[in-house]
Structure 1
Amino acid sequence: MPHLPTQLHSNDFWSEPTAVPRLAVLLLNAAHDSWRVAPDGMGLHSSELFWNLWSHAQLTVCADGGANRLYDRSVALEAQHLVAPHYIKGDLDSLRADVRDFFSARGTTVLQDPDQDTNDLDKCLQLIHELQEQHCKTEDSTDRFSVMIFGAMGGRFDQEMQNMNALFRWKDKFQQMVLLSSETTARLLAPCVRHVITPNFHFETRTCGLIPLAGTCKETTTSGLKWNLSPGMETGFGGLISSSNHVDDASDQVEGHSWVMQLGLAESMLFQRM
């Protein structure tokens, strides 16, 4: 087996978002019930993932009608004065006028892009990338955004696959990208790399899967799973797929590596959240 470079994937920062230098949270126009805001004697706080990340992010973006969902949910929680995004972007065919006016009055920049050949997710990722490049130039910094994309899974299958496709298209542009819904998280694992994945069991369960999205994987080896893949095991659609797997109860990390003959193969590791 050849020597492979190591890439670390840790979700520990979900509990302490300031642990990553640059955090961007993007909310799509899809249903998700994965956040709440709870008051206590110290002010508003939450142990829930969306609010924990959104309230600490350096950049917050809503894709078109995602702003409607943010507004409606925050009104239900009496927290609408807390959640104004930095940007709303898309063709704006879904954005309600009352939501646009409300957030605009609180400093949100609304950007209309009428291009019908580009979906709203790509439009927002392009914006995040442009702001990242501007920051790197003006601040003489190499810090890239960790992009957390909420509402990315669990809706229409074609849109879900388009969101998966975005992981491929933008995989080299950011520090990391994660798709999230109320039940699932997904990230892309590049080929020819030893991946070390550290889930955050405060938010995630131990249920997981390793899915070859872009072709047959000729060699995959894992450790830390209840049902590990062994050297020589081939995975691919029409054959073996490691779904409904489980992070071993004695392990806090999963390691996996693969090398392939096909050009451009990549994989996705998914962890089911509680």
Structure 2
Amino acid sequence: MDQEAEVIENPDNLEVVAPEDAHVIEPLIFKDREVGNSSLIVLNQEIHSIDLEGLWRNTKLHICADGGANRLFEYWKKHQRTEEFVPDFIVGDLDSLKADVQQFYEQHGCIVIPQYTQYASDFMKSMRLSMIYFQSETTRGLLYEPIESNKGLEFIQLEPAQVSVDMYILNGLGGRFDQTVHSINQVIQLAQQFVQNSFRFITPDDIVFLLRKGVNYIKYPSKQSFGCQGNPVCGMLPLNTEVVLNTRGLKWDVLHWPSSMGGHVSSSNALVGISGAVIECSNDMIINIEHSFN
């Protein structure tokens, strides 16, 4: 017999203990120190209202997806610091990349990898490049050799068990709605195959990432670390399939709570756990947490 769903309103501060078997997620780790196998992927939208320098310094690999290189160049040109922040790679079909931007970055050591296939987005090509880079020294070395220009990256074999990368995605959300949904869908697809990877969309307003099926513990130094006034607002979004939720550390905790598009969705909730919150979900799902760089 199904257990009855419950909603529990909590006080604004709650001590939450991390379960021993939880999948630990630290969404703000990039603000404190360099992340191990980590990449920053810059997509083709205007950059504003974030600590790009801090994000850059604390990630190891920097990739621009086609026209994302133009956005990066324009951003640092305004600050007269273009030579300090040169991406390691530019990848894509290159239909948006400006010739002068390409020339500048190539002259400063950036590798440009044309991949003209239209059966993968420039974002997906960037994520694949990131995994190739961190899988092994052997596969990394292939990125510095000539690569077939249609879909050569697809010919470099990836072993899911050997790939573990924290990917930070800048400008992946916003703009046209279909592109936003497509970006999230690509992350969901990739996460199903490469389960050891993590993906975080960074926007001026929030951090968006994937919760894995099972028990997740979202760990943070304090609620104030999110840079918001009051408790950081969050939403749990079952974009893939129906999910049953059990939570501890939210303003409105839920127990045995079914959530789906067209059904119940927990939006405009908030973190009240002092240094963490537990979210158990029956399937993978997306969460966004309010965050400000100001």
TM-score range (shorter-chain normalised) is: 0.7 to 0.9
TM-score by length of 2: 0.78
Q: Aligned in 2, Cα 1:62/1:4: closer, same or farther, shift over 3 Å?
A: same
Deviation at 1:4, TM superposition (A): 9.7
Residue 202 of structure 1 and its aligned partner are, at CA, apart by 2.9
Give the alignment of 1:82-121 within 5 angstroms: 82-121=84-123
After superposition, the Cα gap between the structure-2 partners of 1:29 and 1:190, relative to the gap in structure 1 and judged at 3 Å, is same
Task: List alignment gaps of at least 5 residues for structure 2.
Answer: 3-18, 141-161
**Map of 1:1-274 to 2, 5 A cutoff?**
5-18=21-34, 20-35=35-50, 48=51, 50-135=52-137, 144-171=164-191, 172-173=193-194, 174-191=196-213, 193-199=214-220, 201-205=224-228, 206-217=232-243, 219-230=244-255, 232-248=256-272, 251-259=274-282, 265-274=283-292
Amino acid at match of 1:110: V
CA contact (8 A) 1:17 1:53 kept: no
Distance 1:136 1:177, change over 3 A: farther
CA contact (8 A) 1:213 1:266 kept: no
CA offset digits 1:109-136 (Å, max 9, x no partner): 0011110121100111111111122338
Show structure 1 runs of 5+ residues with no match: 36-47, 260-264
What is the TM-score of this pair, normalised by structure 1?
0.83
Instruction: Tell me, in whole angstroms, the C-alpha distance in 2 between the residues paired with 1:97 and 1:203.
Output: 38
| Rounded Cα–Cα distance in structure 2 between residues aligned with 1:215 and 1:244 | 20
1:160-204 CA-to-partner distances (Å, cap 9, x unmatched) read: 11111122122153531111211122111122x100012464345
- Count residues in correspondence: 249
Q: Following TM superposition, by how much is the alpha carbon of 1:5 offset from its aligned partner in structure 2, in angstroms?
A: 4.3
Identity of aligned residues (%): 25
CA spacing shift, 1:137–1:65, aligned 2, 3 Å: closer
Change (3 A) 1:136 1:272: farther
